[in-house]
Amino acid sequence: MEGRLIPEPQRGHVLELLKALGPTGDAFVLAGAQAMKFAVANARATKDFDFILDVIALRSDSTSLASVLMKLGYRAVEGARNFQFEKAIPDSAEIVRLEFMGPDEHKRQGDFRVDVQDGVHARACTGGKIVLAESDLHAISGRLPNGTAVTENVRVTRPHALVMLKCLAVDERYRNIRGAAHARHDREEARIHAADIVAILSAQQDLVGFAEKFRIQFGLEPDLGGRIKKIVEDYFKDLNAPGLLVYEEFLVNSSEASSDRRTIEGELGRAKEVLEYLLTAK
């Protein structure tokens, strides 16, 4: 797949960013829905780019991220405290938005932000250390905004680490920890993250091997492994568990066959079968 599903015009601008970063780009790991496009053939569309940053490497790097972003036309998103940046794409109604995250052990005391460099922060990300270790280089080809053909490498979260992040996201959104004002949006996000987990697992040719990789990654953070194990058991143990209930809601809301109960039930049964591989990853 090699990122061919990253849409234009955003693809040209992320290629521009990677080219401008040069070797510093190795400290950027693509996560979120964009990373799914390297693991799932028909991944859902998205135009935002989430990067988990190797904060330690970037703090000692001579490249000024703030200067690179400014030169390329990015500005900090208002209210985002320098961890989200965006720019308007010329001659288009489109934008490119970047969000930076960093391992949560580096966050400020009493704050959700991680200091990266002057003018650039990251949002604390549980499991970020694992993602930095569990990533691979992939090539993205396309054209820069000036029309020049180019191929750049980007680090991408491995599928089993992506599922870990999605488990955390399902739990956070389902519990609606942000309060009633965000309840509707959080429920929709919980549906999407549950569907992403099913999609990633469904794309695996070796689910036994995948489950083993999923288990082994927590050698870096055993306590997080225990937390993820509980989330998996609580959300996916049976058809009445919250994770499969929100996946059912996703199917009903998005499927052309939503009126066909047998089709929905068949897909839920299939999803439960692939999720069993997470449940058995001791």
One domain, residues 37 and 150: yes
Residue 3 lies in a domain: no
Q: Can you tell me whether residue 30 is helix, strand or coil?
A: strand
Question: Helices 183-202 & 261-279, crossing angle to 10 degrees?
Answer: 70
Nearest Cα neighbor of 22 from 61, 75, 76, 74 is 61
One domain, residues 26 and 97: yes
One domain, residues 184 and 85: no
One domain, residues 145 and 205: no
For residue 273 the two structure tokens come to: 């079968």
Domain end residue (candidates: 108, 125, 157): 157
One domain, residues 143 and 205: no
Mean pLDDT of 205-219: 96
Instruction: Phi first, then psi: give them for residue 95, nearest 5 degrees.
Output: -130, 165
pLDDT at 43: 78
User: For the ranges 16-30, 88-102, 192-206, 254-268, which has the lowest average pLDDT?
Assistant: 254-268
Write out the residue range of the structural domain in which residue 53 sits.
Answer: 10-157
pLDDT at 79: 83
pLDDT at 202 over 80: yes
One domain, residues 165 and 141: no
One domain, residues 62 and 153: yes
One domain, residues 177 and 110: no
